[in-house]
Amino acid sequence: MSVAAWADATARRADAPPIAFYAPMKSPNHPTPSGDRRMARLYWRALETAGFAPILVSELRAWRARPERCDLEALRSEGLQEAENLIARYDATAPAQRPRLWFTYHLYYKAPDYLGPRVAALHDMPYVAAEPSRAPKRLKDEWAEHAEDAEAAIDLADLLICMTDRDRPALEAHQTKGQEIVALAPFLDLGPRPESRPATTPVRLLTVAMMRSGDKTASYQTLAASLAEVSDLAWRLEIVGDGPERSAIEGMFAPFGDRVRFLGRVDDPQTLQTAYAAADLFVWPGVGEAYGMAYLEAQAAGAPVLAEDRPGVRDVAHVGRLAPANAPAAFGGALRDLIADPEALSALRARARFEVESRHSLDTAAETLRQALGPLIADTK
């Protein structure tokens, strides 16, 4: 399998235990940027920092947008064949050269894991699922068969790495015998500390989000409605993002003229870091977000955040304001309070980086992974 440029295989320590790495929702090599791809890459780096050697064993994408029966049968068949190919490969590999553990990132009803449980069982590897999510209600709707497949994989995991308070109750309620659950907050490579500076006038707002239908569009609608509530104040908004709904979303913000600027898709990390650092406030309601990496990236660059008070989002949006969910007027009122008080914004900016450093650093995640995975690997010697 190919290894992306960001994962330098030559940098691995010779004695680092190899780990099979798989992301059924979106491979870390996927060409489209997203929070899920970002988190997969960060897990890779955290594993390396923890002293392990991740190996991307498959790029099979099990994620599906719609629950179509014929497609599910094809996916199951493809997954079974991929698993058999890996089993045959490891059968022909000396035991010392095989992965010592299987690590699946982001396993849930829309992205079951058809590879890990089977390969791990036949080659006596511990099976670990990071950011697994159980959805009992999906067992009773059109997603039932997909959800059953995901639940079956989660049942077989030796270790579940839970990233939000929203996911933990269901994981604990259905925890299988001998299965461990470890908490690990969403994390990122923090980068350089931002320079101290006062808020600007007009206040610089920033949004970073994909432009697709569903939850993303709903968040953009709330944001546009909230800006109408503060049209009398001094602000500018930059929006980083692109996608199939861009034209419709641009139309939502057309009434604000040149106060809103669309920057399109930004792939270069330094360019994105510069945008975060220049912002006085990151604004994004967060409808349907599992948690939202952009909130962490903004705070790491010194930008406080305004979001809706939603499960998952509240796990990462520490500095700024959480407005009531599904209430655009309340979101607009919170935005007014923040824009109207630049001194308060400056004080929040000074706190934002500290909060992320203390809770969400890559080094902290690496240490958690070292302590959680080390004993599992030791038991396979």
List the pLDDT tens digit at each of the 381 positions of the chain. Answer: 333 433 444 345 568 999 999 999 999 999 988 889 999 999 999 999 999 999 999 999 999 988 987 789 999 999 999 999 999 999 999 988 899 999 999 999 999 999 999 999 999 999 999 999 999 999 999 999 999 999 999 999 999 999 999 999 999 999 999 999 999 999 999 888 888 888 889 999 999 999 999 999 999 999 999 999 999 999 999 999 999 999 999 999 999 999 999 999 998 989 999 999 999 999 999 999 989 999 999 999 999 999 999 999 999 999 999 999 999 999 999 999 999 998 899 899 889 999 999 999 999 999 999 999 999 998 776
Do 33 and 68 lie in a common domain? yes
CATH assignment at residue 156: 3.40.50.2000
CA distance 245 to 216: 9
- pLDDT score recorded for residue 13: 59
User: Which of 322, 308, 319 lies closest to 359, judged by CA?
Assistant: 319
173 within domain boundaries: yes
Do 144 and 240 lie in a common domain? no
77 within domain boundaries: yes
Do 122 and 222 lie in a common domain? no
Do 274 and 329 lie in a common domain? yes
Do 178 and 48 lie in a common domain? yes
The number of folded domains in the chain is 2
Do 60 and 179 lie in a common domain? yes
User: Which of 221, 337, 215, 352 lies closest to 279, judged by CA?
Assistant: 352
Do 167 and 227 lie in a common domain? no
Tokens of 101: 């553990």
234 within domain boundaries: yes
Amino acid code (one letter) for 168: R
What is the reported pTM?
Answer: 0.85
Do 143 and 157 lie in a common domain? yes
197 within domain boundaries: no
CA distance 208 to 7: 25
The domain in which residue 111 lies consists of 9-187+361-378
Tokens 């079956």, located at residue: 152
- pLDDT score recorded for residue 378: 84
- pLDDT score recorded for residue 249: 98
CB atoms within 10 A of CB 145: 17
- pLDDT score recorded for residue 14: 65
Tokens 């990496």, located at residue: 293
Do 136 and 259 lie in a common domain? no
21 within domain boundaries: yes
Sign of the CA dihedral with 286 first, then 292, 293, and 297 last: positive
Q: Are 259 and 236 in contact (CB under 8 A)?
A: yes
193 within domain boundaries: no
Do 249 and 328 lie in a common domain? yes
- pLDDT score recorded for residue 381: 61
Do 249 and 369 lie in a common domain? no
3 within domain boundaries: no
192 within domain boundaries: no
Tokens of 50: 């923890």
User: Which of 235, 243, 253, 236 lies closest to 209, judged by CA?
Assistant: 243
Do 15 and 113 lie in a common domain? yes
